[in-house]
Structure 1
Amino acid sequence: MEQQVTIKKVLNNNVIIAEHPSYKEVVLIGKGIGFNRKKDEAISFAKADKTFLLSDEKEKEQYMNLLPHIDESLIDFMNDILIYVEKRMGQELNEHIHVALTDHIAFAINRAKNNMQFSNPFLMEIESLYPKEYQIAMEVVTMAYDHMGIQFPEGEVGFIALHIHSAVTDKTLREINRHNQLISQLVTIIENNMGLTIDKNSVDYHRLVQHLHRVIDRIHHEESIGDEVRLANMLKQEYPVCYNLAWKLIKVMQKQLNKSVDESEAIYLTIHLQRLTNKS
């Protein structure tokens, strides 16, 4: 038998909130799923193209307040987008993306229609750190152009990529942005101290940014990479400038993240910095 749910609220022709016997409140999305439906009416769970839970009361309220202000065709389009992203990423997305990305795309459309230009200062870092999410975000922007004839600026690709990364890692955008800002700050410190400008399109830049990202992740999860005293002493003697700069970066990370950093991180940072010195 088809599983039945009970309608609690019809948000529009394409979205309803229903009572599920196991999951309590669920959001059902599908073309025409809410048309001529009434509260307390039973409906087949299988009729929805997309379902998700909104267990967070604040997000549920935000979603309910958002829907009346956006075109129903956009809800339909967002449903297609989220199914596409889920398929491309090969995993389920956290429920918060339904609210966050719908809200972001709706505002992005208004910005594009009003020709409001803005830049994304972390575009290079985002592309380097999350290449798969960035590629999918580019595809989403192409889909938006094909569907609505709206051309989003390049900066939007970065923001959409962040939303996708947030949904697959269950990290908040605030946390992701904080880490990206820290990486950008660390790169600036490296350039200033080493008296060079790093080519943002170079392999070395991508390696450096990805390494800094992994360091921050290890610090966040309080992971150790082992003790390499002999190697540390050798690098300290051979490359004192890079070794001291590595420790300067570590102290910045300690202060920003409010966590201790494994001393061995200085070894691998020194190696990356020395590689940059050689290339310059």
Structure 2
Amino acid sequence: VLAARERMHEAAEAGGELARRMARVGNFSRLQQAREIAITQDAAAQLARARLNAALEREQLARLMGLWGAQADFTLPDALPALPAADALRSGDDAEATALRERLDLRALRRDLDTTADRSGWAGVGSVFGDIGLSYSRNTATERASGHRETTRGWEVELPLPLFDWGGAATGRARAELQHSAAQLQDAAIRARSEARSHWLRYRTAWDLAHQQQAEALPLARFMQDEAVLRYNGMFISVWELLAEARRASQAVAAATEAQRDFWLAQTDLQLALTGTSPGAPADLPSAPTTPNAPSEGH
């Protein structure tokens, strides 16, 4: 993005310098010169912000990698990785299933439930509460009048909460602890499903937008710039139109780069939502009881 902003600023500066010279010899009005100066000032402001963002992002990257001093003088690639092909994208059908199966916060909550059940004297209860029923459904409905068939697919998830005859086998405190752990697991499972769906939608939309920029908007901008050069060489357009087209082409490059960046960020958030924990909320990860082997009341 910084490289694109630098090219935009160069084109704006060239226009501003040409406007100054033409105004000095009387071939340019003060209004036309002012317009070119405004364009130059705007390009300079965008360049300053791009330089600041690049410096701040580099500092953050160095901090995350634990580098300082001479170590922070690393070299970054000139471009982001290319977009994956459409057939290589993650499918949304298994997003919820992957989250329920692999998310760390759900695993921790299952372990917490098992530990609470063991402390309460209910061996095996954790496996019952922790079993999030998972099945893939494929339903086909046919309308008799039109003969139209519609097939729906998706993952069906159920979290059973069985009833037990507690009686004297466990105290009220142990029962409350076990029900609390089960409720936490159920709430986390619902949140995981929702986050998996939401982040997959962002991931897919980000790919669509980035692909549109790469496959359509950027080639169109380059074509228009090439055509402007040909027309300028044929003396059909002015140098101002040529410089304006160069600025638009650089802006298209910056927009395509930002869309590409947004896709990779969306993919990272999706991966975290499916296998890690809630993106942006790692504090939600529960911890296991501090005294798993301590006897509970009533033992």
Range class of TM-score, shorter chain: under 0.3
Q: Which has the larger radius of gyration?
A: 2
When the two structures are superposed, what TM-score results if normalisation uses the length of structure 1?
0.21
TM-score, with normalisation over the residues of structure 2? Answer: 0.20
Higher normalized contact order (CA 8 Å, seq sep 6+, divided by chain length)? 2
